[in-house]
Amino acid sequence: MKTTEPPVIAEQLFSASKEAVWSAITEHQQMTEWYFDNLPDFKAEVGFTTQFNVKAPSRDFLHIWRVTEVLPMKKIAYNWTFKDCEGSGETIFELFEQGSKTLLRLTNVVIEDFDDTIPEFKRESCKAGWNYFINERLVAYLSQETSNL
């Protein structure tokens, strides 16, 4: 992915409260249920940093996240980099109430070019990954959580 490309955006309308969606995207225990099960810790606090490894077909990717913005119940953003890889991105999760439902808009912006000769850094891979996490994994997780209430 390159800075010259438009951001990748994934949106999903949930039949869940803003509070439930916010908790799912910011509380460590919930994040390990639908996002990355090996996420060692997470805090919705500006400056919080964490790192964890993800094995991919081409290599291991040590993810390094740093929270850059938090507006409780509205928006959280964090910077993504990968050890020993060029590139930097910002992922922004925004929540919007729509009646009794909640719209989640995820925007992934490239800040510094990634090496798109690496398959996982191609735009198509980024789009597929965010669609998987937001439109499949988070949908399934929140559907299960709301049915348990």
State the average pLDDT for the chain: 93
User: Domains of the chain: which residue ranges?
Assistant: 8-147
Mean pLDDT of 90-113: 96
Q: pLDDT grade, residue 146 (50/70/90)?
A: low
Structure confidence by residue, pLDDT tens digits, 17-62:
999 999 999 999 999 999 999 999 999 999 999 999 888 777 788 8
What pLDDT is attached to residue 12?
97
Mean pLDDT of 134-145: 92
Q: Is the pLDDT of residue 147 over 60?
A: no
Q: Is the pLDDT of residue 124 over 80?
A: yes
- Taking the C-alpha atoms of residue 143 and residue 148, their distance in angstroms, rounded to an integer, is 9
| Percent of the chain clearing pLDDT 90 (strictly above) | 82
What pLDDT is attached to residue 148?
53
Q: pLDDT grade, residue 116 (50/70/90)?
A: confident
| pTM score | 0.93
Q: Is the pLDDT of residue 120 over 90?
A: no
The CATH homologous superfamily for domain 8-147 is START domain (3.30.530.20)
